[in-house]
């Protein structure tokens, strides 16, 4: 009979989350970003929740308990978007800092002004929780205030700086590299100075960004939202992070690492890919530059060198190519506008992944233990690939350095040298060695927030402290003042005592002289 209360308690807790209404906002135009939201929301729908997804990527086939809201205007000029990303490659990290926030600001405005979103707001629909793609889109937090619902951001890039602002997560520049820079944890003095400088600069940039999105809220809703209100709206952050592919770091209770949660344990592959890979007796290579940069935008000479190298290899090649065909395509190359990347990497015959180095691609390569030839184009790719090189499972080849010789040498090195495969197999074991599958962890915490109507019990008070209290500047100043005062007082006393003794010595000396006379 002792088990009865426990069973009743479990059933009651389950009933709280059955059929919860969940809203998702995933407006980023990158398909790779949307994949995370789509996979998570399908799993929530399978578990009986009613999910509504606002995004530029509606499902092609109906899915039970899953409703789409199409965000028009974001994907209409995909060619221009691809050119923008190539501009970021040419301009380096400084160009990325200029272009990417502007692109996200534009997409945020489109989302806030979307007619379907306004219709949803006016419909009176209530949501138990809102899950959003966490990518420089702070104005979206207002929907939490509007619907009085807790928000769970999903940080597709891992634990980025702006997430720590709203959670109080430790971000000490002494050993935690700033997002967007390739620094080790055991930094030299010069590297720590540089990292500390970036830490201060990021605070200024984030402050300006918060102010900009507060103005967007004022513009579209004629309301205000303070930084404290933004923080209160966030129940917890699901971070696409894991120590197998990023530097280990501490986490507060309301940041939950779920790196690799988007990877299914099994996945069916279309027959043309399955047959092609099954027939690759010598092995296969997969080439993809992701969803934001089209392979069709590669320079003509670069493409020519790539195809020439492919034609001389004994392996079969799957090439993600966004056109009907390639001129002079080698017989061992299969092209496709869309490729089931995860299923391809899971195939035993795949020996190498030639990738742009996006985070999802990097995680999938580690999970399936496939060495990587990285051709980073822009953004975090220029951090992910150098990190993969340091971890020992990748070789980096910048686009401007790619020619027939360098490309061929890199491929042969990665396939013929077993150390790359050995390294990635060890990392794969680390990524898979978790107490729960990452997807189960993600769903548990979503339902946890629903059950407890928010995540205030998970927040640490550090987020409420002003910077001088958080970093103990006032305490250090106080203790330093006391120590200085004690030292100063001791110094004065000693000086005084020395002066007294000297005066007595002088008097005694003078008295001695008088007696002698």
* Secondary structure of 83-149 as H, E, C letters: HHHHHHHHHHHHHHHHHHHHHHHHHHHHHHHCHHHHHHHHCCCCCCEEEEECCCCHHHHHHHHHHCC
Measured CA to CA in angstroms, residue 299 lies from 80, 295, 303 at distances of: 17, 9, 6
With 0-12 CB in 10 A as exposed, 13-18 as middle and 19+ as buried, what is 446? buried
pLDDT recorded at residue 209: 86
pLDDT recorded at residue 472: 93
**Tokens describing residue 390:** 């340091």
- For the chain, what is the mean pLDDT? 88
Q: What is the mean pLDDT of residues 193-208?
A: 89
The residue among 11, 12, 66, 14 whose CA lies nearest residue 43 is 66
∠ CA(156), CA(160), CA(165), 5° rounding?
125
Query: 3-class DSSP state for residue 320?
Result: strand
Q: What percent of the chain has pLDDT over 70?
A: 89
pLDDT recorded at residue 259: 94
Residue 59: pLDDT above 80? yes
In this predicted structure, which of 47-56, 189-198, 223-232, 463-472 has the lowest mean pLDDT?
463-472
Q: What is the mean pLDDT of residues 399-422?
A: 96
Residue 2: pLDDT above 50? no
In this predicted structure, which of 67-71, 144-148, 295-299, 302-306 has the lowest mean pLDDT?
295-299
Measured CA to CA in angstroms, residue 411 lies from 196, 376, 414, 421 at distances of: 38, 16, 5, 13
pLDDT recorded at residue 96: 61
pLDDT recorded at residue 452: 96
Q: Which CATH superfamily is domain 3-263+437-464 in?
A: Glycogen Phosphorylase B; (3.40.50.2000)
In this predicted structure, which of 10-24, 148-162, 257-271, 461-475 has the lowest mean pLDDT?
10-24
Query: 3-class DSSP state for residue 52?
Result: strand
Inter-residue contact 360 to 71 (CB < 8 Å): no
329 Cβ neighbours under 8 A, 6+ residues apart: 307, 335
423 Cβ neighbours under 8 A, 6+ residues apart: 391, 392, 393
CA 233 to chain centre: 20
CB atoms within 10 A of CB 430: 13
Inter-residue contact 44 to 74 (CB < 8 Å): no
Q: Any idea how long the chain is?
A: 517
Inter-residue contact 374 to 385 (CB < 8 Å): yes
> What separation, in Å, do the N-terminal and C-terminal C-alpha atoms of the chain show?
111
pLDDT recorded at residue 462: 86
Residue with the larger pLDDT of the pair 128 and 264: 128
CB atoms within 10 A of CB 199: 16
**Tokens describing residue 46:** 């399978």
∠ CA(224), CA(225), CA(231), 5° rounding?
175
pLDDT recorded at residue 294: 80
The residue among 481, 465, 477, 482 whose CA lies nearest residue 231 is 465
**Tokens describing residue 380:** 């975090």
* Strands 316-320 vs 333-336: parallel, antiparallel or unpaired: parallel
Q: Which segments of 247-328 are extended strands (E)? A: 255-257, 284-288, 316-320
* Domain 271-432 bears CATH identifier 3.40.50.2000: yes
Inter-residue contact 285 to 411 (CB < 8 Å): yes
pLDDT recorded at residue 91: 57
**Tokens describing residue 469:** 């209290």
pLDDT recorded at residue 62: 92
Q: Which pTM value belongs to this model?
A: 0.86
Q: What percent of the chain has pLDDT over 90?
A: 61
């Amino acid at each position: 009979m002792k088990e009865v209360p426990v069973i009743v308690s479990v059933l009651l807790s389950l009933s709280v989350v059955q059929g919860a209404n969940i809203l998702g906002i995933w407006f980023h135009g990158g398909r790779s970003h949307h994949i995370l939201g789509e996979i998570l929301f399908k799993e929530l729908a399978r578990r009986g929740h009613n999910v509504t997804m606002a995004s530029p990527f509606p499902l092609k086939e109906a899915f039970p308990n899953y409703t789409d809201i199409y965000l028009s205007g974001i994907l209409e000029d995909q060619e221009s978007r691809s050119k923008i990303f190539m501009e970021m490659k040419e301009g380096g990290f400084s160009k990325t800092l200029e272009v990417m926030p502007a692109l996200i600001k534009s997409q945020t405005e489109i989302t806030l002004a979307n007619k379907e979103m306004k219709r949803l707001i006016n419909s009176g629909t209530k949501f138990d929780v809102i899950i959003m793609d966490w990518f420089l889109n702070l104005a979206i937090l207002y929907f939490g205030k509007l619907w009085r619902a807790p928000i769970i951001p999903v940080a597709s890039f891992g634990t980025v700086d702006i997430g720590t602002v709203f959670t109080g997560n430790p971000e000490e520049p002494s050993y935690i590299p700033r997002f967007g820079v390739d620094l080790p944890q055991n930094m030299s003095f010069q590297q720590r100075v540089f990292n500390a400088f970036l830490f201060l600069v990021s605070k200024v940039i984030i402050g300006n960004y918060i102010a900009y999105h507060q103005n967007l809220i004022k513009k579209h809703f004629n309301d205000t939202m303070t930084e404290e209100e933004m923080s209160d709206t966030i129940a917890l952050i699901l971070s696409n992070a894991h120590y197998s592919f990023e530097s280990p770091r501490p986490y507060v209770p309301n940041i939950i690492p779920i790196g690799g949660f988007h990877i299914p344990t099994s996945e069916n592959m279309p027959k043309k890919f399955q047959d092609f890979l099954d027939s690759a007796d010598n092995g296969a290579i997969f080439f993809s530059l992701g969803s934001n940069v089209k392979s069709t935008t590669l320079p003509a000479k670069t493409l020519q060198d790539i195809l020439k190298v492919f034609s001389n290899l004994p392996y079969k090649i799957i090439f993600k190519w966004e056109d009907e065909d390639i001129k002079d395509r080698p017989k061992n190359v299969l092209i496709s506008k869309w490729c089931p990347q995860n299923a391809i990497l899971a195939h035993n015959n795949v020996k190498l992944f030639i990738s742009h180095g996006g985070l999802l691609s990097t995680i999938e390569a580690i999970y399936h233990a496939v060495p990587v030839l990285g051709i980073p184009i822009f953004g975090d790719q220029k951090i992910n690939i150098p990190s993969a090189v340091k971890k020992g499972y990748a070789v980096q080849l910048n686009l401007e350095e790619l020619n027939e010789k360098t490309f061929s040498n890199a491929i042969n090195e990665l396939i013929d040298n077993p150390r790359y495969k050995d390294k990635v197999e060890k990392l794969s074991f680390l990524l898979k060695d978790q107490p729960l599958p990452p997807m189960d962890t993600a769903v548990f915490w979503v339902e946890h927030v629903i059950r407890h109507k928010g995540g205030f019990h998970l927040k640490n008070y550090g987020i409420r402290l002003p910077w001088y209290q958080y970093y103990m500047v006032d305490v250090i100043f106080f203790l330093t003042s006391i120590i200085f005062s004690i030292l100063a007082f001791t110094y004065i006393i000693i000086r005084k005592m020395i002066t007294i003794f000297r005066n007595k010595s002088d008097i005694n000396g003078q008295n001695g002289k008088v007696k002698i006379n």
